[in-house]
Amino acid sequence: MAANINRFRGEWHIWWVQGFEPVLEQTGRIVIGAEGAQEPFLSDDGEVCVGFAIYEPDGTLYASSDEWGPLALHDGQLRWDGTDKDGHPLRMYMSVAEAVTQDDKTYFSLYGTTLHGDPDQVAVWGANDSPPP
């Protein structure tokens, strides 16, 4: 689990997706607090928040915090709760995992879930900082 917002910041490439209406597509990407997405800030309620942008595989912008509002850090996890472009309920949850290779190199991966509509309509996905082949 990430200790602070900085571990989430960057451009993440989606490597795999499984489930119902995942929002993020395989070979798409999500940018958090970088490349035009708002830097971390404190909300009026004192929450640590950060901007984001979701891009489809062809590079088209699917959604961003400019229209949807920012992600908020809760207990080491980024969260967003609202509605999609069609007005359907949508929730996103993201965590960062650290891995160390046998030759002592450290890398991080971003893992997330999206819930579209009722709780049975869930998708999971994973990303890291390099694009899939």
Residue 132: inside a domain, yes or no?
Answer: no
Residue 133: inside a domain, yes or no?
Answer: no
CA distance 128 to 133: 12
**pLDDT at residue 33 in the model:** 94
66: part of which helix (H) or strand (E)?
A: helix 65-68
pTM, two decimal places? 0.87
Report the DSSP beta bridge partners of residue 17. 125
Which residues constitute the domain of residue 119? 5-127
Residue 69: inside a domain, yes or no?
Answer: yes
The domain total for the chain is 1
Asked whether the CA dihedral 69, 77, 9, 90 is positive or negative, the reply is: negative
Q: What is the pLDDT of residues 70-126, one digit of tens each?
A: 999 998 999 999 888 788 888 999 999 988 888 888 888 999 998 887 666 788 988
Residue 103: inside a domain, yes or no?
Answer: yes
